Chain A
């Protein structure tokens, strides 16, 4: 028997990064100063857009080939990134749209504002997307991105990372984050990673090398699980008299 759905578990603002994080300079003028207005989720947050598998092209989750010329492939260490999308109550989140973007193996983005002199790879676009399966699992293939310098301090370099945008089943679950790679020495030095409040939060965004999912002579694998907000289920929701 299914329990009725109730509201979302409030976002843990003690765990999530603050808006104002001075070592990440851009946050100074882009962070609201007033307290957020908190109230329980309503239908506006408990619903959300649903994406069908029909939007996906066959190479959407293959960044090695989705921008490459016929017969060519992107240059760099070939990896598979896979994992599960779960909610805070450990339930799989199926049909979640995941969009990813990243620099190429040299650390260069295909973007007009990019200032790093590393070379573009003519066969690498840098984005991909997929929808989670019934068990919440997803996977995509790409090249491991390189670290890159960015204008913040005089000599700040981002650790290698892949950006993730995730939709759950409700707009309340909307999340954008980044995946880091186990063992990258830049993780400890990065002001953006530094917006995370605890070593546990950094670990939660650091993917592990997964030799069991590696394809011999083809691609190594990294495992990266994602957790979205959970929705309570209860028979004991208070409703005012007469409604």
Chain B
């Protein structure tokens, strides 16, 4: 026998289920208790940096778009600073967004800014990226991934995480493609040949 460590176990995750929108984007479902849905906008005024639109669809293993997912993003401002209380970030940029997806197509859209690079614990700079978190019916524990920018080639080539990925041929699953200036597409594939790389961070 020995002493025992008295850490607690993290609460186990359970699926967000088919009605996650009732709880997290109730106005979207027609339940108007709150003034507005949280995360509907990442900005509360004019923001610094390049304003961009990020759109995409989450596909299941059969190629069918998910229409009952909830997608959240978290990112730094254009200068690479994450919003925090009393922080030095762009005061009109919130950094966090949430989407229920389009009711018919499931496509999500975020109006945001292109983030700056942020420091890695070892002092290097991480390439600009946006953290994604996806929950839905059939997903037992939230899936986390990162969206990088295909047009940030140099930064991506020096990124401490991207360069560590064994299957370099899967890196395109993490890259948002500019379809027009400032308009990026980032599709997420839960399964299949184009399965997105998901993270355990």
Contacts and interface: CB of A to CB of B under 8 A. Distances in A.
A240 B120 CA distance: 12
B70 to A, nearest CB: 9
Given A10-B200, A30-B139, A30-B190, A66 B20 contact: no
A107 interface: no
Contact of B201 (A38, A50, A51, A192): A38
Interface stretch (B10-18, B149-157, B177-185): B10-18
Interface in B121-172: 121-123, 126, 129, 131, 133, 135-143, 146, 161, 164-165, 170
A13 interface: yes
A204 B123 CA distance: 39
Contact of A66 (B6, B29, B33): B33
A86 interface: yes
B interface, how many residues as a size bin? 35 or more
Given A24-B138, A29-B138, A33-B195, A205 B12 contact: yes
B123 A127 contact: no
A126 B22 contact: yes
Nearest to A112: B29
Nearest to B7: A88
A227 B31 contact: no
Interface string B63-76: 01010100010111
A54 to B, nearest CB: 11
A9 B8 CA distance: 12
18 contacts: A7-B121, A11-B200, A24-B138, A31-B138, A31-B191, A36-B198, A44-B129, A45-B131, A109-B19, A110-B22, A127-B22, A163-B16, A175-B142, A195-B14, A200-B9, A204-B12, A227-B8, A229-B10
Interface of A: 7-13, 15-19, 21, 24, 26-34, 36-45, 47-51, 55, 57, 59-60, 66-67, 86-90, 99-101, 109-114, 125-129, 163, 165, 171-172, 174-178, 192-193, 195-196, 200-201, 204-205, 226-230, 239-240, 243
